[in-house]
Amino acid sequence: MFAVHLLAFHFAKLKEDQIKKVDRYLYHMRLSDDVLLDVMGRFRAEMVKGLGRDTNPTATVKMLPSLVRSLPDGSEKGDFLAVDLGGSQFRALEVKVFNDGKQSSQLESKFYPTPKEVIQGSGAELFSYVADCLSDFMESRNLKHKKLPLGFTFSFPCKQNKLEEGVLLSWTKHFKARGVQGTDVASSLRKALQKHKDIDVDVLAMVNDTVGTMMTCGYDDPRCEVGLIIGTGTNACYMEDMRHIDLVEGDEGRMCINTEWGAFGDDGALDDLRTEFDRELDLGSLNPGKQLFEKMISSLYLGELVRLILLKMTKEGLLFNGKVSAALLTKGKIEMKHVSAMEKYKEGLSNTKEILTELNLFPSEDDCIAVQHVCTIVSFRSANLCAAALAAILTRLRENKKLLRLRTTVGIDGGLYKTHPQGSAKGAAMVTAVAYRLAAQRKQIDAVLAPFLLSLETLRDVKNKMRTELEYGLKRETQDRATVKMLPTYVCGTPDGTENGKYLALDLGGTNFRVLLVKIRSGRRRSVRMYNKIFAIPLEIMQGTGEELFDHIVQCIADFLEYMGIKGARLPLGFTFSFPCRQASIGKGTLVGWTKGFKATDCEGEDVVDMLREAIRRRNEFDLDIVAVVNDTVGTMMTCGYEDPNCEIGLIAGTGSNVCYMEDMKNIEIVEGNEGKMCINTEWGGFGDNGCIDNIRTKYDKEVDEGSLNAGKQRYEKMTSGMYLGEIVRQILIDLTKQGLLFRGQISESLRKRGIFETKFLSQIESDRLALLQVRRILQQLGLDSTCEDSIIVKEVCGAVSRRAAQLCGAGLAAIVEKKRENRGVEHLQITVGVDGTLYKLHPHFSRILQETVKELAPRCDVTFMLSEDGSGKGAALITAVAKRLHNIGQK
493-514 pLDDT tens trace = 778 778 888 888 888 877 788 8
Q: Do residues 434 and 76 lie in contact, with contact meaning Cβ atoms separated by under 8 Å?
A: yes
509-564 pLDDT tens trace = 777 888 989 888 887 778 888 898 999 989 899 999 999 999 999 999 999 999 99
- Tell me: pLDDT of 892 over 60: no
Rounded to whole angstroms, the Cα distance separating 831 from 705 reads 35
The C-alpha angle 11, 12, 16, rounded to 5 degrees, equals 115
Kindly state the percentage of the chain with pLDDT values over 90. Answer: 47
- pLDDT for 510 equals 72
- pLDDT for 394 equals 92
Which residues, in sequence order, are CB contacts of 777 under 8 Å at separation 6+? none
- pLDDT for 694 equals 95
Mean pLDDT, the chain, rounded, equals: 87
Query: 221 an active-site residue?
Result: no
Q: Which amino acid is at 720?
A: T
Q: Which of 437, 514, 730, 804 is catalytic?
A: 514
Rounded to whole angstroms, the Cα distance separating 7 from 677 reads 116
Rounded to whole angstroms, the Cα distance separating 85 from 20 reads 42
Q: Higher pLDDT residue, 540 or 791?
A: 540
- pLDDT for 7 equals 39
Q: Do residues 693 and 462 lie in contact, with contact meaning Cβ atoms separated by under 8 Å?
A: yes
DSSP lists the bridge partners of residue 629 as 575
Q: Do residues 339 and 306 lie in contact, with contact meaning Cβ atoms separated by under 8 Å?
A: yes
661-683 pLDDT tens trace = 999 999 998 888 888 899 999 99
Q: Which amino acid is at 34?
A: D
Closest to 786 (Cα-Cα) out of 817, 744, 819, 827: 744
Query: 752 an active-site residue?
Result: no
Closest to 394 (Cα-Cα) out of 531, 239, 245, 214: 239
> Which backbone phi and psi does 76 adopt, to 5 degrees?
-70, 150
Counting DSSP H helices and E strands in the chain, the numbers are 26, 25
> Mean pLDDT over residues 648-656, rounded?
91
213-271 pLDDT tens trace = 888 888 888 888 999 988 888 999 999 988 899 888 877 778 889 999 999 999 999 99
Q: Do residues 627 and 573 lie in contact, with contact meaning Cβ atoms separated by under 8 Å?
A: yes
Q: How confident is the model at residue 578 (pLDDT cuts 50, 70, 90)?
A: confident
Report the interhelical angle of 348-358 vs 365-400 (nearest 10°): 110
- Tell me: pLDDT of 11 over 60: no
Q: How confident is the model at residue 741 (pLDDT cuts 50, 70, 90)?
A: confident
Residue ranges of alpha helices (H) inside 743-873 are: 759-765, 772-781, 788-824, 838-842, 846-857
Rounded to whole angstroms, the Cα distance separating 697 from 719 reads 8
- Tell me: pLDDT of 705 over 90: yes
Rounded to whole angstroms, the Cα distance separating 241 from 788 reads 10
- Tell me: pLDDT of 1 over 50: no
Range name among 99-113, 360-374, 579-593 with the lowest pLDDT average: 99-113
Q: Which amino acid is at 661?
A: Y
Look at residue 286 and give its three-state secondary structure: coil
Give the length of the chain: 892
DSSP lists the bridge partners of residue 785 as none
Pair type for strands 677-681 and 657-664: antiparallel
- pLDDT for 772 equals 64
Q: Do residues 578 and 512 lie in contact, with contact meaning Cβ atoms separated by under 8 Å?
A: no
DSSP lists the bridge partners of residue 150 as 81, 203
Query: 526 an active-site residue?
Result: no
73-124 pLDDT tens trace = 777 788 888 888 877 788 888 888 877 666 677 888 888 988 888 889 898 9
Q: Which amino acid is at 434?
A: V
Q: Which of 73, 413, 607, 632 is catalytic?
A: 632
Rounded to whole angstroms, the Cα distance separating 679 from 631 reads 10
> Mean pLDDT over residues 380-402, rounded?
91
- pLDDT for 845 equals 92
Q: Which of 285, 299, 578, 763 is catalytic?
A: 578
